[in-house]
Amino acid sequence: MEKGKNLEVVPAIERALNIFGYLGNQNKPMTLKEIAGDLDIPSVSTFRIVKYLCSRGYLIE
């Protein structure tokens, strides 16, 4: 992929990466409500993304 090209943002991927970054900076387990509130992501979206990442082994509940 060429550097400098404008890439279309994929909202679900951006949110998932934001969740990873957020959780990586925490020193304790976080609730879905805390994640959604702190990242300003709708609760339903947060739930779906986190559940999917758990099902794939990227996060643990």
pLDDT of residue 3 exceeding 90 = no
In a domain, 27, yes or no: no
Q: Are 19 and 9 in contact (CB under 8 A)?
A: no
In a domain, 24, yes or no: no
pLDDT of residue 9: 85
Residue 3 within a domain: no
For 10-56, the pLDDT digits (tens) are 999 999 999 999 999 999 999 999 999 999 999 999 999 999 999 99
In a domain, 5, yes or no: no
Which has more pLDDT, 2 or 37? Answer: 37
Number of structural domains the chain divides into:
1
Owning domain of residue 42 = 33-61
> Residue 1 pLDDT > 60, yes or no?
no
pLDDT at 38: 98
pTM of the model: 0.82
Whether 50 is in a domain gets the answer: yes
